[in-house]
Amino acid sequence: MLKPESFPIDKIYVPVKRRKALNAEVVQQIAESILEIGQQAPIHVRSDEGRLVLVEGLHRFEACKALGETTIMGLLVSAEVAHQRMHLPHDAEAEAERQKMARLRKLRLEQEAAEKLGVTLRPDLAMKSRTVPQERPTKHIRNDLKATPSLSDGRTRGSTPKTLSEWLAQKERNGSRY
């Protein structure tokens, strides 16, 4: 089992063929994820004539570089392993990247929903806890808006109050306690 190490970013060479596969949007999403939860998966590098060559993890590498990091977590793999990885079907690598991005997107959407509800989620618990807003069913719905009596401020009885004082006044008119 290989153990992750810290490698200086400026000492890692990215082959031209790998650079062509770079997607700026993916780099940005991974950078946001790294800011929130840190680098979870190490990149893979191999040693070649006194330098390190990137084998896997181009988007993670570029995200860390864009964040101003000087080092990155990675695994030093042998040339044989690197050769095998280079010949993996691109579809398998692309599918793994798609699944990772789907997880990141889901995490971001859950955090945005929690922020809208005024709940702060810790990044390590964000995937475990899900906040689903519960709506109360309305008792009755009038279909004829002309039959709805108007209030003094021109708003209808079923409309949502804009301020706390409007809300309290509406609750008093309806005879319900808050």
- Domain end: 43, 70, 87, which one? 87
Domain containing residue 42: CATH number = 3.90.1530.10
Domain that holds residue 82: 5-87
For residue 64, the model assigns a pLDDT of: 92
* Residue 61: inside a domain: yes
Counted domains in the chain: 2
* DSSP-assigned letter for residue 9: G
Closest CA to 107 of 172, 32, 7: 32
Q: Indicate the pTM of the whole model.
A: 0.47
* Residue 76: inside a domain: yes
Task: Please provide the size of the chain in residues.
Answer: 178
Q: What is the pLDDT of residues 107-151, one digit of tens each?
A: 888 888 888 887 655 555 544 444 555 555 555 555 555 554 555
For residue 141, the model assigns a pLDDT of: 55
- Domain end: 87, 104, 120, which one? 87
By CB neighbour count within 10 A (0-12 exposed, 13-18 middle, 19+ buried), where does 33 fall? buried
The span from the CA of 36 to the CA of 132, in Å, is 22
Q: What is the pLDDT of residues 34-92, one digit of tens each?
A: 998 888 899 999 988 888 999 889 999 999 999 999 999 999 988 665 555 554 555 55
Cβ(31)–Cβ(66) below 8 Å: yes
- Domain end: 50, 68, 87, which one? 87
